[in-house]
Amino acid sequence: MDNLIQVGGLVVDRSGQRVVDGIGFDVPSGSLTGLIGPSGSGKSTVMRCIAGVQKHAGGLVKVGGYEAGSRMARGLVGYQPQRPAVYLDLTVRENLSYFATMIGVGASGVSEAIDRVSLGGEASRCVERLSGGQVARVSLAIALLGSPSVLLLDEPTVGLDPVLREDLWRLFATLAAQGTALVVSSHVMDEAERCERLLLLRDGRLLADAAPSALKAETGTTDLDSAFLAVIRTRRV
Amino acid sequence: MAGPVAATARRVLLQLLHDRRTSALLLVVPSVLMTLVRYAFTKQPQVFEGVGPMLLALFPFTVMFVVASVAMLRERSSGTLERLMAGPAGKGSLLGGYALAFGAATLAQVAVVLGVSLWGLSLRVDGSIWLVVLFALLDAWLGMALGLFLSAFAKTEFQAVQFLPAFVLPQFLLCGLLVPRDQMAVALRLLSDFLPLSYAVDGVSRVAYTTTLTGAIWTDLVVVAACIPVALALGALTLQRKGE
């Protein structure tokens, strides 16, 4: 399998502070990787580096073999930023249609993306009239436009009701099965269980890179919260 | 390229149209101000004759400066700019789309204020109305480009709004609207030579009083037109694909 995302020795400094400190990992096509860690651990910064919208002080980030942020790499990536990056004063469909044109996706792609996040009934409503969870799904739908080979989703399920979260994680698994390389960030451990592979981040460092089951086995724990704690403790020693 | 440019223009116009109050203000305010000037100087009609045409050029500049800087600030703070920068579209299609949308908004604005001024307030324009419209359109683009550029230096709406008194009012004072430029202190007159708005205002007042296309009018037109790509290039420079 080819590695669609390659990150090596990544270092990011922000106002004199090192916020990402020598992180490296590869993500193959057809995989679902969880970027897990507390708020402030550097998850969003790593995502932004892969999306090509974040300057980095060192290391390399490649998407499909191209430098992240280069024209070729940008064509491969669907990115959902943490805050819902949508036009609140436009309708759901107007938002989707606009971003679709900007990336060269046709009208059928717009309807498909709206259906995938179950917003068909709200398509002609103004985004500012939607609930927070619905706005987040509009933002997700934009990232899904055109079925990109790399999907970067920064906390896509925050504020969603459990049924919807279930649906979305099933969607993520389906997309991975179809060949998409997904990186999904979360600070909720019960969501981490749904990933094939976990990257545990803390203070800008990569603490662990393993499957959930392997992580629990290695640390002799039964849940991921305890496993994360155990990893932090062993790292300190 | 045509797709993304047109789509951006359509999107910006849709945002303006969805916001009914903004659309109404955009269309009505210049005419109201023009009416105020006309009747505030009702005993000195020559004042209105003098500044009326200049105001036609100044309204689009000011309004588009503010609207563009706030629009771009919102685009930055909402994350939609980052989202666009993460995609394959070029900066040119974004700026081009803004230029088209604000150009269309300006034409609508100028049509209303020109109609009210010519027929409602009996403003006299001896020269070509089309040249007045052309100056207004160029001024709007200039205001837009400067607004897009300066919005990069504003972190909040409070700051962005302050750019109006900080950057637009000085040009207002020095462009020849209040005092003819050759009557100002030498330093200020020299300074006004470097401000694009001076040429816009000179041009429009020349057009208003003469039916012949003089060389001076052409010079004014060329200077104003040439400043637009410069301001747009400055605006493009502030659209960084990668942030800190």
Query: What is the mean predicted confidence (pLDDT) over A63-86?
Result: 93
Q: Where are the alpha helices (DSSP H) in chain A?
A: 43-51, 71-74, 92-103, 107-116, 132-144, 162-177, 189-192, 212-219, 224-236
Q: Whole-angstrom Cα distance, residue B217 to residue B77?
A: 41
Which of A139-143, A153-157, B45-49 bottoms out in mean pLDDT, i.e. has the lowest? Answer: B45-49
pLDDT digits (tens, 9 = 90+) for A6-34: 999 999 999 889 999 999 999 999 999 99
- B127-133, long-range: CB < 8 A, 24+ apart: B127/B206, B127/B207, B127/B208, B127/B209, B127/B210, B127/B211, B127/B217, B128/B207, B128/B211, B128/B213, B131/B203, B131/B207, B131/B213, B131/B217, B131/B221, B132/B53, B132/B56, B132/B57, B132/B204, B132/B207, B132/B208, B133/B107
Q: Whole-angstrom Cα distance, residue B96 to residue B215?
A: 30
Q: Provide the pLDDT confidence category of residue B36 given band limits of 50, 70 and 90.
A: very high
| A101 to B7: CB separation less than 8 angstroms, yes or no | yes
Collapsing DSSP to helix, strand or coil, A230 comes out as: helix
* Spatial CA neighbour of A46 closest among A97, A84, A12: A12
| B89 to A81: CB separation less than 8 angstroms, yes or no | no
pLDDT of B157 > 90? The answer is no
Query: What is the mean predicted confidence (pLDDT) over B42-49?
Result: 89
Instruction: Measure Cα distances from B184 to B181, B192, B219 in Å.
Output: 5, 10, 22
Phi and psi angles of residue B105, each rounded to the nearest 5 degrees, phi first = -60, -40
Handedness of CA B6, A134, A212, A216 (dihedral sign): positive
The pLDDT of residue A228 is: 87
Collect all residues of chain B within an 8 Å Cβ-Cβ radius of residue A104.
Answer: 3, 88
Longest dimension (CA), chain B: 60
ipTM of the complex: 0.89
pLDDT of A135 > 90? The answer is yes
Q: Across the interface, which of B10, B11, B242 has its CB nearest the CB of A53?
A: B242
CB proximity A101 to B under 8 Å: yes
Q: Whole-angstrom Cα distance, residue B35 to residue A31?
A: 66
Distance from CA of B149 to the nearest CA of A (A): 20
Q: Which residue has the higher pLDDT, A161 or B39?
A: B39
What letter would DSSP give residue A128? G
Q: Whole-angstrom Cα distance, residue A45 to residue A35?
A: 11
Phi and psi angles of residue A34, each rounded to the nearest 5 degrees, phi first = -100, 130
CB proximity A1 to B under 8 Å: no
Collect all residues of chain A within an 8 Å Cβ-Cβ radius of residue B89.
Answer: 102-103
What's chain B's average pLDDT? 88
Distance from CA of B15 to the nearest CA of A (A): 6
Q: Across the interface, which of A77, A83, A88 has its CB nearest the CB of B86?
A: A77
Contact (Cβ atoms closer than 8 angstroms) between residue B1 and residue B93: yes
* Spatial CA neighbour of A76 closest among A107, A52, A93, A108: A52
Give the amino acid at A60. L
% of chain B beyond a pLDDT of 70: 99
Query: What is the mean predicted confidence (pLDDT) over A117-133?
Result: 93
| B19 to A89: CB separation less than 8 angstroms, yes or no | yes
Contact (Cβ atoms closer than 8 angstroms) between residue A113 and residue A67: no
Report the residue of chain B nearest A82, measured CA to CA. B79
Q: Whole-angstrom Cα distance, residue A227 to residue A217?
A: 9
Give the amino acid at A191. E
Query: What is the mean predicted confidence (pLDDT) over A91-120?
Result: 94
Q: Would you tell me how many other CB atoms lie within 10 Å of the CB of residue A216?
A: 18
CB proximity A74 to B under 8 Å: yes
- A200-203, long-range: CB < 8 A, 24+ apart: A200/A36, A200/A37, A200/A228, A200/A231, A201/A23, A201/A35, A201/A36, A201/A37, A201/A41, A201/A42, A201/A43, A201/A46, A202/A37, A202/A38, A202/A41, A202/A232, A203/A21, A203/A41, A203/A42
Q: What CATH topology corresponds to A1-76+150-156+180-237? A: Rossmann fold (3.40.50)
The pLDDT of residue A229 is: 87
Contact (Cβ atoms closer than 8 angstroms) between residue A184 and residue A50: no
Query: What is the mean predicted confidence (pLDDT) over A76-86?
Result: 93
| B80 to A85: CB separation less than 8 angstroms, yes or no | yes
The pLDDT of residue B1 is: 45
Give the residue from A102, A124, A144, A151 with the most B CB atoms within 10 Å of its CB, the best one to mutate. Answer: A102
What's chain A's average pLDDT? 92
The pLDDT of residue A43 is: 94
The pLDDT of residue A236 is: 66
Interface size between A and B, measured as CB pairs under 8 A: 84
pLDDT of A109 > 70? The answer is yes
Instruction: Measure Cα distances from A235 to A36, A200, A206, A208, A232 in Å.
Output: 16, 12, 11, 10, 5
Collect all residues of chain B within an 8 Å Cβ-Cβ radius of residue A77.
Answer: 86
% of chain A beyond a pLDDT of 90: 76
The pLDDT of residue A87 is: 96
Q: Would you tell me how many other CB atoms lie within 10 Å of the CB of residue A213?
A: 10
| B83 to A15: CB separation less than 8 angstroms, yes or no | no
What letter would DSSP give residue A105? -
Q: Across the interface, which of B3, B78, B241 has its CB nearest the CB of A53?
A: B241
Give the amino acid at B164. L
| A98 to B78: CB separation less than 8 angstroms, yes or no | no
Q: Provide the pLDDT confidence category of residue B2 given band limits of 50, 70 and 90.
A: low
pLDDT digits (tens, 9 = 90+) for A177-235: 999 999 999 888 888 889 999 999 999 999 999 999 999 998 898 888 888 888 888 87
Query: What is the mean predicted confidence (pLDDT) over B25-34?
Result: 91
Q: Across the interface, which of A75, A83, A102 has its CB nearest the CB of B4?
A: A102
Placement of tokens 């607004």 in the chain: B147
Report the residue of chain A nearest B92, measured CA to CA. A102
Q: Across the interface, which of B18, B86, B89 has its CB nearest the CB of A126?
A: B18
Instruction: Measure Cα distances from B136 to A6, A11, B100, B212, B241 in Å.
Output: 51, 49, 14, 19, 32
CB proximity A233 to B under 8 Å: no
Q: Which residue has the higher pLDDT, A77 or B169?
A: A77
